[in-house]
Amino acid sequence: MTQLKFLSLNVRGLNSPQKRRIALTDLHRQGGDIVFLQETHFREDAAPSLQSRYYSQCFCSNYVVSKSRGVAILLARHISFTRVHQQLDPNGRFLFVKGTLGSQLVTFANIYLPNKGQCAAMRSILSKLDKFREGLLICGGDFNISLDSSREGVHPTPSVDDSLRGRFLTLLHHHQLVDGWRALNPTVKDYTFYSAAAHSYSRLDTFLIPHHQLHYLTKLKIASITWSDHAPVMMWVDFQATPPPHRTWRINESLLRDVVIRQNLHDSINQYFEENSTPDISLPTLWEAHKCVLRGNLIQIGAQRKREHRATLDDILQRIHDLETAHKACQSLDTFKDLTEQRAKLNSLLSQQAFKSLLLTKHTYYTQGNKCGRLLAHTLK
């Protein structure tokens, strides 16, 4: 068995190239193997690509009238998924994708319900899903309805309509679907959305699983709200063994811009040739072995820088988590102010990383855009 991590997040629009890069980088950082996105806000006739080096497969369902709604499913490059069929919604409310993951038949369903008439919309979508689905069903999304009663929310919770919630849960029960978060966390209180206008928390996002397939789930977790107005919901699912990902090393060119690193590499190369240039070692062997030594030094330096960057990011995320937990308990204005500052700090850090990545992309298109090379081959493909 192998374990895959699913992630569902309402992204509140991804039309900005910088925000798209922030989103893809953060989703990769969180380790999402298969990602469900809601509110992409792409127009059908002018939708940008959400593919990246890490997420090689992307399926989108966009609204044909305007830049609103929209859902997408991203799959990491190491996921051996073969699509068999997909069903799109012209209103951008749902997306069904069916295929084989390794040797197992699966169906992915990403749903974004409207703010009103949730039960009627969900009933129509589930009737279509029953005809489409085969194999293991993974259904996730933003259902725009509080999945916990008013007694389970943070006081006050004026937006919770227990009668609407009851009808929605009855509809799920009729289709034999179970709220995965509540099934694995029966006594835990946590939330995915904070309404600044109503000053209330609610849990609008979750994964739905058929009750006879709950044994595939191992864990569900709600992370902190960071650059979006919703918190990501993470789910770990056991699948039959899939082939391990194939990875190749590539030099990080940004390391060579550092004067200190270049000097250290220069010293290491000189030291290597002084210690290994002996008559019993042939020149081809000496030359090929020095590449391995140089690669090892670059991997070590890159790993150290990555650990430092990750430590800074983890410190901010932990601070956000602590402040968010405290705010859920007391809803202090001072705590909310500190929480907003930490989220702005995190957004600034992610924006800097996205800006560097965008500059590298522009440089690639400027230097290789009019040449017969890999860029042109990928574009034609």
* Environment class of 88 (CB within 10 Å of its CB; exposed 0-12, middle 13-18, buried 19+): middle
H or E element that contains 2 = strand 2-10
Beta strands in 20-148 (DSSP E): 34-38, 55-61, 71-76, 81-88, 94-101, 104-112, 136-142
> Does 338 belong to an annotated binding site?
no
User: Would residue 142 show up in a list of annotated catalytic residues for this protein?
Assistant: yes
Q: Kindly give, in sequence order, each residue whose CB lies less than 8 Å from that of residue 268, ignoring residues fewer than 6 positions away.
A: 293, 294, 297
User: Would residue 112 show up in a list of annotated catalytic residues for this protein?
Assistant: yes
Cβ 134 vs Cβ 112: under 8 Å: no
> Does 144 belong to an annotated binding site?
yes
> Does 308 belong to an annotated binding site?
no
Report which DSSP code applies to 225: -
Of 113, 159, 160, 107, nearest to 138 by C-alpha is 107
Choice among 55, 112, 194, 201 that is catalytic? 112
* Environment class of 196 (CB within 10 Å of its CB; exposed 0-12, middle 13-18, buried 19+): exposed
User: Would residue 190 show up in a list of annotated catalytic residues for this protein?
Assistant: no
Of 333, 336, 340, nearest to 316 by C-alpha is 340
> Does 230 belong to an annotated binding site?
yes
Crossing angle for the helix pair 283-330 and 259-276, to the nearest 10 degrees: 140
Choice among 89, 142, 148, 190 that is catalytic? 142
> Does 324 belong to an annotated binding site?
no
Q: How far apart are CA 6 and CA 74, in angstroms?
A: 10
Of 317, 244, 235, nearest to 35 by C-alpha is 235
Query: What residues are designated binding site for Mg(2+)?
Result: 10, 39, 142, 144, 229-230
Active centre residues (catalytic): 112, 142, 230
Query: What residues are designated binding site?
Result: 10, 39, 142, 144, 229-230
